[in-house]
Amino acid sequence: MADIGIVVISHSKNIAQGVIDLISEVAKDVSITYVGGTEDGGIGTSFDQVQAVVDQNDKDTLLGFFDLGSAKMNLELVADFSDKKIIINSVPIVEGAYTAAALLQAGSDLDSIKSQLAELSINK
């Protein structure tokens, strides 16, 4: 298995859990960590929670997926302070995370995964 993991950041606990439930079906051997919502169960994201799930992932290179603006912002901030290489992907959270996880499980290399994700890119 590649030395690449996945981190999923959502404003919603239910969205994050749903994405993980789905991709876990095709990627049982992929290191995946995630967070959804705020510490008190509300809608939102926080730097501390994002940093915690990045730190919890045992891989040094992470493919990051997010749902909305502040999730991306917090992931970018964590990437600035982390020793890990975090590749932030501007793709639909479900399709992107699922694609990356399935390709990692199949043994694809990072360049192949980036190429597949580029086709899903959101350009706004």
Cα 29 to chain center, whole Å? 15
**pTM of this prediction exceeds 0.85:** yes
Residue 29: inside a domain, yes or no? yes
Full residue range of the structural domain in which residue 25 is found: 4-118
Can you tell me the distance from the alpha carbon of 33 to that of 45, in angstroms, rounded to the nearest whole number? 15
Residue 45 among the catalytic residues:
no
pLDDT at 71 over 80: yes
CATH number (domain holding residue 84): 3.40.50.510
In this structure, is the dihedral angle defined by the CA atoms of residues 11, 95, 24 and 56, taken in order, positive or negative? negative
Q: Which of 4, 6, 8, 11 is catalytic?
A: 11
Please state the φ and ψ torsions of residue 28, each to the nearest 5 degrees: -65, -20
Domain count of the fold of the chain: 1
Taking alpha carbons only, the member of 17, 9, 107, 24 closest to residue 67 is: 9
Residue 21: inside a domain, yes or no? yes
Residue 11: inside a domain, yes or no? yes
Quote the mean pLDDT of the chain.
96
Q: What pLDDT sits at residue 1?
A: 52
User: pLDDT tens across 25-59, in order?
Assistant: 999 999 999 999 999 999 999 999 999 999 999 99
CA angle 107, 63, 37 (to 5 degrees): 130
